[in-house]
Structures are given as structure tokens and as C-alpha cells.
Amino acid sequence: MMKGILILIAFLCAWQSVAAQVVLIPMDEKQKEHLKAYGAAYYVIARGISVDWLLNYRGGSFAFLHTREFEDTLRVRGISYEMISAGSYDQILSGILSPSTNQDAVKLEKAPKIAVYSPKSAQPWDDAVTLVLTYAQIPYEVVYDDEVLRGDLTNKKFDWLHLHHEDFTGQYGRFWASYHTADWYKQQVAEQEGIARKWGYKKVSQLKLAVAKTIKEFVNQGGFLFAMCSATDSYDIALAAEGTDICEYMYDGDPRDPNAQSKLDFSKCFAFENFVLEPNPIRYEYSNIDVSDSRKVVEAMDYFTLFEFSAKYDPVPSMLCQDHTKIIKGFMGQSTAFDKKLIKKDVLIMGEYKSQNEARYIHGNLGSGMWTFYGGHDPEDYRHHVGEEPTQMELHPNSPGYRLILNNILFPAAKKKKQKT
């Protein structure tokens, strides 16, 4: 009797193995909706089912066990997918895990809780991250100075924080020369001065420093930080200038410290060192970290190249660089690209324009957490101007530049693996 039961169990297990199907979402040129595919992977993880991220396999494909719900979701969202047997998938995995290939399979298990640092008032520019999160149907919460200072990043257990186009130095984006009479600019100043007073700060620069330091502690304790455009260099500048007034009278009512440059402490920065502050307070630039004005590149020739990392030995940068091309179309911003000479030696450069000696996409560790800085404002709007309409994401479903943003959003879901080095 027992023998018969064991045979029946073995038969049922074998039948289930044969009958089981795996959904493969290819991320190479055959994918019709690259950006929405990330949202589908997030959707599956959020429902308690793990997803395999197949690094360097067909553009960084995703795979998971088939259910009717998941297949219907892919169909409704227009995402390309393939149905394969469990046996066929085992063969794919065997090839990926072979020591002879620069590929690996990383298991995504926990849907990261996402926060976007952005002001509550309307601003005359869009934000690439919120645009692509909305398009990919990945949920997020908006936080700003109040939420950060009252501890929401840790109390609400956020895993990932994006810094919206922001100025952490207290100079209101250095828009004074062109826009100080505009209603939106006045509203921005009033909003931030009001928040500063609420928290007991005399200046917005002091408020923003407190926010920057709180975010730094969030990363130090294990959070993931992603920043684009002016939030990258202005963040590091604010940290370096702690205790020093770098704002001129039109921003905080009194002159800047004439010895501000010599008082900068670069050891407090995430990414940059030895930079020189821009002394002209009405110039649309913070320092020489950004090379927007000095680069000699025309739009038709503006591309940067992603590095290829070892998937098995360097899984994090490999995840962050998954794409269906290694050549990414460049795009401008208040902070477009970073002078490589001013990047700290322990920072990982993941994307560069080599002939211009500039970095576009960089990454590093701080304590138990990680951060990524991505130069430029919008990967599909080469020179985004204040007041322009937001990018229509449905026109760019396969954007390689936007894929880099979504790589950063998804990689905190990865199960931690022991380092091989």
C-alpha cells in the first residue's frame, strides 16, 4: 500500500513538473514594451512570486512561473512574452549559470517601497522618474522636507528614494536671473521659506542641509538613493558646505562667505571632490562638477557608453546596466554630465563619454546602502526647457535611457548573494 502511494506521489510530481510553464519576458529587440515589462515584474513580485532577472540574457530578461492572472496582465499591458516549459527553462538556466558565460540569474523577491522627493506645489518642469514609474504602473509615494525630517523614510520603511530635480544648496535652482519675477518661482521661495521657519531654520540652505543629512543617514542604514540632474551635484555641494554660507544675498538676504571655497569638506560628499564653486550667483550652474557649458558635443553625436560588468562577480552594476544596447543617446539638464577628474576614486563609473572625459552614470556604496547619480533631465527630451510639456511616454516604450532608471528601481528587490571575491 505504502509503495503504491509513493509511486502515485512520484507520478504526480513528475506530471506537475512537465505541466508547469514559465513566462519569459524577453528584453532584447523583440520586446514591444520594455518599460512596462519592469512594471510587470514588479507586479509579480508584489504578489509574493519571485522573478528571475536573467542578467545579460537577451537584454536582461525576466522569468517567473505562469499563472492566468500574470498572463492576462501581460496581454492587457501589451508586453511581449513567451511561454516555455519548465524543462526548457532549466536548460536556459543551465547555460546562464555556466562559468563560461558572462550571465547570471538573480532572484527578485521583495517589491521595494518607493519614495519620490518632490515639492507639493506645481513646478514648470516634469520629472523623468515619476513619468516612467507612472507609465510602468509601479506605485510610489511623494515625500518632501516635512516627511523626511519627521522620519518617514525609516518609519514607513521605504527601500528606495528618488531625488526630483532639486537644489539642496538653498539657491532655488539658480533660476533667479531668468525667473525671479515668475509666479511659480515666488511660490517656490514662499513654500520653502515657510517649511524652514516651521522647522526652526533661519535659511532655506540650513533646512536643505538638514534634509540632505537625513537622507544620507537613510542610505547609511541600508536605503537606496537615486538622483538625476541638479539633485546630484547640488546634494554633494550642500554636504560639503555644512556650516558655511555659500548663498548670495538674493537667496538668503546676506552675502556669501568670501572664504567659502577653502572651507568645503569633500569627505562628506558621496561622489565628488576638489570641485570649485561657481562664484557668479546668477549663473545657471553650481560648480565645475557639471560640464554642460564646457562640453563640445552636438546633439547628433551625443551618446554615452555603458560598461559591461561581470554578471557573476559584480551583480549590482550588472543589474544597473541591463539594456538592449550599450550605446545610450545623451540628453541635457542643469547637470548634464560629471567631470571625471572630480569623481572620487572609489566611485564606480557605469556610463561615460570617453572622448569628453565625462561620466553620465555613476554608483557607490555608503554604509549598508547604495546610491546612483544619473546626469541629465529627461532621456527622451534632449534639451528640456522650463515650461515645456512632459514627455509622452507612450512614444518611447523602448527607451534605453529610461531603462536605466527602472533598473535602479528594481534592483533593491534582488535577493542578496554572497560575494565571490
Question: Would you mind telling me the total number of residues written for the chain in this entry?
Answer: 421
Q: What is the DSSP letter of 350?
A: E
pLDDT value, residue 164 = 82
For residues 406 and 27, what is the distance between their CA atoms, to the nearest angstrom?
A: 13
Query: For 176-191, what is the mean pLDDT?
Result: 92
pLDDT in tens, 297-331: 999 999 999 999 999 999 999 999 999 999 999 99
* pLDDT of 76 over the 70 cut: yes
Query: For 246-262, what is the mean pLDDT?
Result: 97
Q: In what order do the strands lie in the sheet with 21-25?
A: 82-85, 21-25, 61-65, 51-55, 104-108
Asked if 339 and 357 count as a contact pair (C-beta separation under 8 A), the reply is yes
pLDDT value, residue 416 = 63
Asked if 331 and 381 count as a contact pair (C-beta separation under 8 A), the reply is yes
Asked if 114 and 160 count as a contact pair (C-beta separation under 8 A), the reply is yes
Grid cell 519592469 — which residue? 38
For residues 68 and 73, what is the distance between their CA atoms, to the nearest angstrom?
A: 9
25-39, 50-64, 163-177 — which is least confidently predicted? Answer: 163-177
Residue scoring higher pLDDT (421 or 214): 214
SS3 of 25, please?
strand
Q: Containing H/E element for 11?
A: helix 2-19
pLDDT in tens, 118-164: 987 767 678 999 999 999 999 999 999 999 999 999 999 999 999 98
List the Cα angle 92/93/98 in 5-degree steps: 105
* pLDDT of 6 over the 50 cut: no
Query: Hey, what amino acid is at 88?
Result: S
Q: Containing H/E element for 70?
A: helix 68-76
Asked if 289 and 271 count as a contact pair (C-beta separation under 8 A), the reply is no
φ/ψ of residue 272, rounded to 5? -115, 155
SS3 of 135, please?
helix
* pLDDT of 419 over the 60 cut: no
pLDDT value, residue 39 = 98
* pLDDT of 165 over the 50 cut: yes
Query: Hey, what amino acid is at 28?
Result: D
Torsion angle, alpha carbons of 406, 409, 410, 415, to 10: 150
pLDDT value, residue 124 = 61
pLDDT value, residue 13 = 43
2-108 in CATH: which number?
Answer: 3.30.70.790
Query: For 49-59, what is the mean pLDDT?
Result: 98
Query: For 347-364, what is the mean pLDDT?
Result: 95
Domain range list for the chain:
2-108, 114-413
pLDDT value, residue 8 = 35
pLDDT value, residue 126 = 81
Q: Burial, 189: exposed, middle or buried (Cβ in 10 Å; 0-12, 13-18, 19+)? A: middle
pLDDT value, residue 122 = 64
Band (pLDDT 50/70/90 cuts) for residue 345 is very high
Q: What is the DSSP letter of 203?
A: S
16-20, 226-230, 293-297 — which is least confidently predicted? Answer: 16-20
What are the residue ranges of helices labelled H in 150-248?
152-155, 176-179, 183-198, 204-220, 230-240
Instruction: Name the average pLDDT for the chain.
Output: 92
pLDDT value, residue 355 = 85
pLDDT value, residue 275 = 98
Asked if 105 and 64 count as a contact pair (C-beta separation under 8 A), the reply is no
For residues 227 and 375, what is the distance between their CA atoms, to the nearest angstrom?
A: 8
Buried b (16+ CB within 10 A) or exposed e, 54-79: bbbbbbbbbbbbbeeebeebbeeeeb
114-413 in CATH: which number?
Answer: 3.40.50.880
pLDDT in tens, 369-378: 999 999 999 9
Query: Hey, what amino acid is at 312?
Result: K
Query: For 263-278, what is the mean pLDDT?
Result: 98
> Among residues 311, 299, 373, 387, which one has the least CA distance to residue 340?
373
* pLDDT of 222 over the 60 cut: yes
pLDDT value, residue 19 = 56
Torsion angle, alpha carbons of 36, 39, 40, 46, to 10: -170
Q: Containing H/E element for 65?
A: strand 61-65
